[in-house]
Chains A and B, each alone.
Chain A
Amino acid sequence: MQHNSSARSGNNTNTEPAPVRWLLVATAMLFLTLFLFVPLAAVFSEAFSKGWETYLAALREPDTWSAIKLTVLVAAISVPLNLVFGLVASWAIAKFAFPGKSLLLTLIDLPFSVSPVISGLIYVLLFGLQGWLGPWLQDHDLKIVFAAPGIILATIFVTFPFVARELIPLMESQGREEEEAALTLGASGLQTFFLVTLPNVKWGVLYGVILCNARAMGEFGAVSVVSGHIRGMTNTVPLQVEILYNEYNYAAAFAVASLLALLALVTLVVKSWVEFRMKRQEIQS
């Protein structure tokens, strides 16, 4: 990313006088400090404000535990489903030419431009008591909205594009010569996919999956609409944070929030590492 910065800093015509440079850096860092660094530090500082004992006690709370279990379950179902979709869709879109491709791409991106609240609302309209399928579901004693299936559906919706939008451009850039060579040499379609295509895009897959997972575990708006907020039953970790906060139980709220902040930091570290590997792969090939 900074491959030519050293060349640049030695070049007087293409840079600003030192005082201007420092002023700009200072302004940018002040902005990032106010909006990013201070809030990030505050999560952990608030979480430990009443000491380790309170922190651990807050995490041992049974409601928090069931929220963690639900969040892991939701991510464990929605991330693999969207991963399979991403692989299948990128094969169809990147390896073949067909009319309506750009419309399909726009439709795949759609969930990113829909407000999370609306992403939850649409499932209430479909499966809620007043919804299309509501009466039928009630007759058959099935519960989707205000239960785990609704939370999973809303999460799949909001994380829908992550893997696909990462893989499509990557697979497109790699063309199809390698796959065609494999087929010519007698490999089956699936062998070609698993032994040729997948290894080529493995970093892209990982990149999409970690971002998808971060969003799946952290989604708040959509899940909040379909969850029904039943403690110990339909609360995910972010909803548990909200409940604790609204009960003025700040130390516990931030203790639980610190778990999510930790997840975000791990996600960023893995993301930076994957970006580094992808760049290396690009240079090598």
Chain B
Amino acid sequence: MSITKSAHNRVLPGFGLTLGYTIFYLSVIVLIPLSALFFKTATLSWGDFVATVISPRVIASFRLTFGAAIAAAVANAVFGTLVAWVLVRYRFPGKKLADALVDLPFALPTAVAGITLATVYSSNGWLGKYLEPLGIKVAFTPLGITVAMVFIGLPFVVRTVQPVLEELEPELEEAAACLGANRWQTIRRVLLPSITPAVITGFALAFARGVGEYGSIIFIAGNMPMKSEITPLLIITKLEQYDYAGATAIASVMLVISFVMLLVINILQKWSRRYAA
């Protein structure tokens, strides 16, 4: 932006009106409803809140949700980076199609993803029937939850790493090669450090999405309390039992965790942008 600060700032009309409407709409749709959650939680006594949040079933759901989300985000960080690399660097048949379909998890409704993954990975499904004889049970196990989270988290890593790879200057690698580095050294010492911030950002985005995900998971999860019950499902279960206080307590813990994640992601994105520049 070439024009600086307030002298020019008010040449265009409508600032007060548009900012006012923005804040009004944001408050009505997002801020006031979200604050309802914290006010409701505040009506709980501290003892009740803690008792709800550290009950074994809730702790088991946290462990499962976060564990599966980390595993899925790691898988996505590795394979998502590989997919981004292949899409940017190589030419092969079907590349354009593959590139477009990477966004499928963004566009496909989660319920459709859920029933499809459950069907494909069930013991007589297209993929499940080959995995089952190998002793790998996916559907209705924690592994199934991870598979669903890999599905929904994949585009985050690919779409974060891809633009960074595209903007890398080929001169850097040429210089490394001229200075006597072999290809592996160039990749490890020159390429990897430049894309690391983007990979970590993609990892964090995929993780945050996995933790909150509901629709694509519940069909493949099995939903056994203590074993394969994710936290969002537990919130719904509590709601259906009219345990509003319990649902709210768990939800506020999750919300605080997502706020922290958002903060971390913002910092990471600033970091990766500075690195790129």
B70 at the interface (CB under 8 A from A): no
A residues 107-132 in Cβ contact with B at 8 Å: 107-111, 113-118, 121-126, 128, 130-132
Chain B residue total in the interface (Cβ 8 A): 101
Tell me the complex Cα distance, A179–B206, Å.
39
The answer to whether the Cβ of A57 comes within 8 Å of any Cβ in the partner chain is: no
Question: Is A91 in contact with chain B by the CB < 8 A criterion?
Answer: yes
User: Which residues from chain B contact A88 at a C-beta distance below 8 Å?
Assistant: 18, 21-22, 25
Contacts of A177 in B (CB 8 A): 3
Is B48 part of the binding interface, using a Cβ–Cβ cutoff of 8 Å?
no
Does A5 lie at the interface of the complex (its beta carbon under 8 Å from any beta carbon of B)?
yes
Q: Are A28 and B37 in contact (CB under 8 A)?
A: no
Q: Which of B77-95 contact A (CB under 8 A)?
A: 79, 82-83, 85-92, 94
Is the beta-carbon distance between A121 and B248 smaller than 8 angstroms?
yes
Interface centre among B32, B112, B251 (most CB of A within 10 A): B112
- Measured CB to CB, the closest approach of chain B to A9, in angstroms, equals 6
In the complex the two chains form, is A98's CB within 8 Å of B177's CB?
A: no
Q: Is B154 an interface residue (CB 8 A)?
A: yes
A257 & B126 in contact (Cβ 8 Å cutoff)? no
Question: In chain A, what residue has the closest Cβ to B86?
Answer: A28
- A218 contacts B109, C-beta separation under 8 Å: yes
**In the complex the two chains form, what is the Cα distance from A91 to B254 in whole Å?**
33
Cβ-based interface call for A279 (8 A) = no
A284 CB-CB contact with B under 8 Å: no
Q: Is the interface of B mostly helix, strand, loop or mixed?
A: helix
Q: Which of B57-97 contact A (CB under 8 A)?
A: 79, 82-83, 85-92, 94
Chain A: which residue is nearest B94 at the CB level? A29
Q: Does B127 contact A (CB under 8 A)?
A: yes
In the complex, what residues of A have CB within 8 A of residue B215's CB? 116, 220-221, 224, 238
B86: which A residues are within 8 A, CB to CB? 24-25, 28-29
The answer to whether B248 touches A125, judged by C-beta atoms less than 8 angstroms apart, is yes
Q: A115-B212, A218-B109 are in contact. Are A89 and B244 (CB under 8 A)?
A: no
B197 touches A (CB below 8 Å): no
Given A125-B248, A221-B110, A268-B100, are A116 and B170 neighbors across the interface (CB < 8 Å)? no
Residue B54 is within 8 A (CB to CB) of chain A in the complex: no
Set of chain B residues within 8 Å of A92, measured between Cβ atoms:
14-15, 18-19, 21-22
Do A118 and B235 have beta carbons less than 8 Å apart?
yes
* Cα–Cα, bound, A193→B15 (Å): 13
Contact of B89 among A8, A106, A131, A254 (CB under 8 A): A8
Which residues on B sit within 8 Å (CB–CB) of A264?
104, 107-109, 112
A11 touches B (CB below 8 Å): yes
Does B151 belong to the interface (CB within 8 Å)? yes
One of A38-46, A58-66, A135-143, A198-206 at the interface: A38-46
Closest chain B residue to A257, Cβ basis: B112
Q: Top 8 nearest A-B pairs by Cβ distance?
A: A218-B109, A115-B212, A220-B215, A221-B214, A189-B13, A92-B18, A264-B107, A13-B177
| Apart from the given pairs A2-B88, A115-B251, A156-B29, 9 other A-B contacts in the complex at a CB distance below 8 Å | A116-B214, A118-B232, A132-B36, A218-B108, A220-B110, A220-B214, A224-B214, A261-B108, A268-B101
Q: Could you list 12 examples of A-B contacts with CB < 8 Å?
A: A1-B99, A5-B91, A29-B86, A32-B102, A85-B25, A95-B12, A111-B30, A116-B213, A122-B33, A157-B29, A180-B11, A214-B106
